[in-house]
Amino acid sequence: DADVTQTPRNRITKTGKRIMLECSQTKGHDRMYWYRQDPGLGLRLIYYSFDVKDINKGEISDGYSVSRQAQAKFSLSLESAIPNQTALYFCATRDRESAEAFFGQGTRLTVV
C-alpha cells in the first residue's frame, strides 16, 4: 500500500458543486500539505498543517478549505467548484527529521 493515499484519483464535477478530496498517510508525519499543479506553473501551495490544531494558508487558498480530522487524514474541499480549479492536486507529508516530502499519486480534477 502507498504511504500517502489520495482519493479519488480522477473526478469530473460540475460548476457550483461541492467536492472533497481526501488524503491519508501511514508515514506517521505530523506535517501535511495540499498543492495544485498546473502546466508551466509548477506546484503551488494551497494549505498546510503542522498538526491537528494547526492549519495554515498557502499561496492560493482562496476558494478552498481544509480539514485535519486526525494526524493521518487531511482533506481538501472546494465549496463551489469553478472551471479554473481544474488541475492536478497533490497531497504530501513531510518528515521533520529528514526534511523530505512524500507525495501521493495525485487527484486529477476537472470542473465543467
Q: Is 99 a binder of another protein (CB under 8 A)?
A: yes
Q: Is 74 a binder of another protein (CB under 8 A)?
A: no
Cell 502507498: give the residue. 2
Angle (CA) 39-103-108 rounded to 5° is 45
Neighbours of 32 (CB within 10 A): 27
Q: Is 47 a binder of another protein (CB under 8 A)?
A: no
Q: Is 11 a binder of another protein (CB under 8 A)?
A: no
Whole-angstrom distance, CA of residue 75 vs CA of residue 34: 9
Judged by the rule CB under 8 A, the positions of this chain that interact with another protein are 4, 31, 33, 35, 40-45, 48, 50, 56, 58, 90, 92, 94, 96, 98-101, 103-106
